[in-house]
């Protein structure tokens, strides 16, 4: 049975599940599969070397699904930052009207996208940042708990608190991100006030995810404790899979007498992380994974996964509803 939330109505999707943008994972194969399954698939803009490459990938995705999909644009510090405006212009030119934004100073890109009525989902790890995003005119907030993969922020607030704070204080609808892999999680998020969920790591471990099968198997055998927090010292904390490289990076970070980033930089190279997904060696470089890896035990198709989550959520919400009985029957 299709869900009816502010998210499903606004995006034109059947199940309130968003596949979050993931570097080196968010290609047309995965995005189209999620959209075909009833959720919202998302292409990651910066997996493409140039805006024109993004245009090609958007057009390729259109041939693979007739359903809505979006694009992620993440703005992160860089010595030579990408031309975010050009990426956004391609999104607009190609008629994509759903964009997930994240990162620093997204104001100019959001303003550009809103000029054509784009629906903006903005990822935040704190209520303070969420309030700032509301002032920029975003349509939905993706509230990212400390459990999440990648950039976790510096406040260490998990979703059980963060989502309730969002419900209490935010004036725009929000979805829950970080720690979600099943229908029980979706039911919990909806009960806490969210309009849906965002999943990243769980979608990495699907048949259609364009990464090496060895990495998917590594996720399946992992425990919830098998992640590492890296770059805390420089207030750029990322949650990564706990492999040999991440462990060594943390050791250097903690023991360094100089505190120079250059000491740890070779260990957290994004280029080596990309190669992990190609060569299948989980220890070749660092790669992001959330604590949700402890809840992942199989490698289904996106269609099987989304249908299962939908069924589990319906069953969970029905069971919860059945716990309430009229006082006259007590």
CA angle, corner 55, sides to 54 and 59, nearest 5? Answer: 115
CA dist., res. 12 & res. 311, Å (int) = 19
Confidence tier at 93 by pLDDT (50, 70, 90)? very high
Tokens 């699907």 belong to 206
3-class DSSP state for residue 19? strand
DSSP state letters, 235-249: T--EEEE--HHHHHH
Residues 6+ apart with CB under 8 A from 177: 20, 123, 142, 143, 144, 145, 148, 197, 198, 199, 200
CA dist., res. 54 & res. 83, Å (int) = 12
pLDDT at residue number 328: 73
Residues in the chain, overall count = 330
CA dist., res. 207 & res. 318, Å (int) = 30
Q: Please report the sign of the dihedral spanned by the C-alpha atoms of residue 313, residue 98, residue 73, residue 59.
A: positive
Please state which CATH class domain 6-210+298-319 belongs to: alpha beta
pLDDT, averaged across the chain:
96
User: Where do the domains of the chain lie?
Assistant: 6-210+298-319, 227-279
pLDDT tens-digit map of 248-272: 999 999 999 898 899 999 899 888 8
The DSSP symbol for 288 reads B
pLDDT tens-digit map of 117-136: 999 999 999 999 999 999 99
pLDDT at residue number 1: 63
pLDDT tens-digit map of 172-228: 999 999 999 999 999 999 999 999 999 999 999 999 999 999 999 999 999 999 999
CA dist., res. 168 & res. 156, Å (int) = 19
Token pair in block for residue 166? 């969002």
CA dist., res. 200 & res. 98, Å (int) = 17
């Amino acid at each position: 049975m299709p869900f009816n939330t502010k998210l499903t109505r606004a995006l034109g999707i059947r199940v309130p599940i968003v596949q979050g943008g993931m570097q080196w994972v968010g290609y047309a194969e995965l995005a189209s599969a999620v959209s075909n399954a009833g959720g919202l698939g998302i292409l990651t803009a910066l997996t493409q070397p140039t805006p024109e490459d993004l245009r090609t990938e958007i057009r390729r995705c259109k041939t693979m699904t007739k359903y809505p999909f979006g694009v992620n644009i993440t703005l992160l510090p860089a010595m030579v930052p990408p031309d975010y405006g050009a990426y956004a212009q391609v999104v607009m030119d190609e008629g994509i009207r759903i964009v997930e934004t994240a990162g620093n100073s997204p104001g100019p890109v959001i303003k550009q996208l809103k000029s054509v009525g784009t629906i903006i989902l903005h990822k935040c790890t704190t209520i303070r940042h969420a309030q700032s995003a509301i002032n920029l005119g975003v349509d939905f907030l993706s509230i990212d708990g400390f459990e999440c993969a990648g950039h976790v922020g510096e406040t260490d607030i998990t979703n059980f608190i963060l989502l309730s704070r969002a419900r209490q204080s935010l004036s725009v609808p929000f979805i829950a991100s970080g720690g979600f892999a099943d229908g029980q999680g979706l039911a919990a998020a909806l009960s806490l006030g969210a309009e849906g969920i965002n999943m990243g790591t769980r979608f990495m471990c699907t048949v259609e995810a364009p990464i090496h099968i060895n990495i998917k198997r590594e996720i399946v055998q992992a425990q919830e404790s098998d992640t590492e927090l890296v770059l805390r010292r420089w207030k750029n904390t990322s949650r990564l899979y706990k492999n040999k490289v991440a462990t060594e990076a943390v050791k250097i970070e903690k023991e360094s007498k100089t505190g120079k980033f250059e000491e740890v930089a070779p260990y957290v190279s994004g280029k080596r992380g990309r190669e992990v997904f190609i060569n299948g060696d989980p220890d070749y470089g660092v790669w992001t994974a959330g604590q949700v890896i402890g809840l992942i035990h199989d490698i289904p198709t996106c269609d099987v996964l989304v249908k299962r989550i939908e069924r589990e959520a319906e069953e969970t919400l029905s069971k919860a509803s059945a716990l309430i009985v009229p006082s006259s029957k007590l």
